[in-house]
Structure 1
Amino acid sequence: MSFISTSRIIQVRNDLELLFILAKRDISVRYKQTILGIIWAIIKPLVTMSVFLFAFKNVSNIQDLGGYPIQLVIFSGVLFWNFFANTFQFSSNSILTNSNLISKVYFPRIIIPISAISVPFIDFIIGFIIYLILSFSLNYSISLHILYLPVAFFFLLLFSLGLGLIFSSFAIKHRDFLQIIPLIVQYGFFITPIIYTSNEIIGKAWFKYYLFINPLVGLVEFFRFSLIKGYHILSFFDFFISCLISLVVFVLGLLVFKFKENTFVDYL
Structure 2
Amino acid sequence: MNKFITKYKEINKDYELLVILAKRDISVRYKQTFLGIAWAIIRPMATMLVFLFAFKNVANIKDFSGYPIQLVIFAGILFWNYFANGFQSISQSILINGNLISKVYFPRLIICISSLAVTLVDLLVGLIVYMILLIGLDQTITETIFLLPLALLVTTLFSLGMGLIFASFAVKYRDLLQAIPLIVQYGFFVTPIVYTSSEFMGKSWYPIYIWLNPLASFVEFFRFCLIPNYPIYSLNGLFVAIFVSILTFFLGLWIFDVKEDSFVDHL
Partner of 2:96: 97
Partner of 2:46: 47
| CA shift digits 1:74-100 (9 cap, x unpaired) | 000000000011000000000000000
Partner of 1:141: 140
Partner of 1:258: 257
**Alignment-mate amino acid for residue 137 of structure 2:** L
Q: TM-score, normalised by structure 1?
A: 0.95
Q: Verify: 1:162 aligned to 2:154, yes or no.
A: no
| CA shift digits 1:56-80 (9 cap, x unpaired) | 1111111111221100000000000
Separation in 2 of the partners of 1:182 and 1:116? 17
SS in 2 for 1:68: coil
| CA shift digits 1:206-260 (9 cap, x unpaired) | 1111000000011001111111111112232211111111010001000000110
Partner of 2:22: 23
Partner of 2:84: 85
Q: How far apart are residue 114 of structure 1 and its match?
A: 0.2
Separation in 1 of the partners of 2:205 and 2:13? 49
Partner of 1:38: 37
| CA shift digits 1:181-208 (9 cap, x unpaired) | 0011001000000000001221221111
Question: Is the deviation greater in 99-108 or in 174-183?
Answer: 174-183
Listed as ranges, the gaps of 5+ residues in structure 1 are 1-9
Question: Is the deviation greater in 201-210 or in 186-195?
Answer: 201-210
Q: TM-score, normalised by structure 2?
A: 0.95
Shift in CA distance, 154/58, structure 1 to aligned 2, threshold 3 Å: same
Q: Residues 1-268 of structure 1: matches in 2 within 5 Å?
A: 15-268=14-267
Q: How far apart are residue 33 of structure 1 and its match?
A: 0.7
**Alignment-mate amino acid for residue 84 of structure 2:** A
**Alignment-mate amino acid for residue 28 of structure 2:** V
| CA shift digits 1:136-190 (9 cap, x unpaired) | 1001111111111110110000001110000000000111111110011001000
Q: How far apart are residue 127 of structure 1 and its match?
A: 0.4
Separation in 2 of the partners of 1:143 and 1:37? 32
Separation in 2 of the partners of 1:40 and 1:90? 17
Separation in 1 of the partners of 2:184 and 2:191? 10
Separation in 2 of the partners of 1:48 and 1:13? 38
Shift in CA distance, 73/12, structure 1 to aligned 2, threshold 3 Å: closer
Q: How far apart are residue 13 of structure 1 and its match?
A: 6.0
Shift in CA distance, 11/169, structure 1 to aligned 2, threshold 3 Å: closer
**Alignment-mate amino acid for residue 155 of structure 2:** L
**Alignment-mate amino acid for residue 73 of structure 2:** I
Partners of 2:11 and 2:110 within 8 A in 1: no
RMSD of aligned residue pairs (Cα, Å):
1.5
| CA shift digits 1:13-41 (9 cap, x unpaired) | 65111111111110010001111111111
Q: How far apart are residue 12 of structure 1 and its match?
A: 5.5
Runs of at least 4 residues off by over 6 Å? none
Number of residue equivalences: 261
Q: How far apart are residue 11 of structure 1 and its match?
A: 6.3
Partners of 2:56 and 2:62 within 8 A in 1: yes
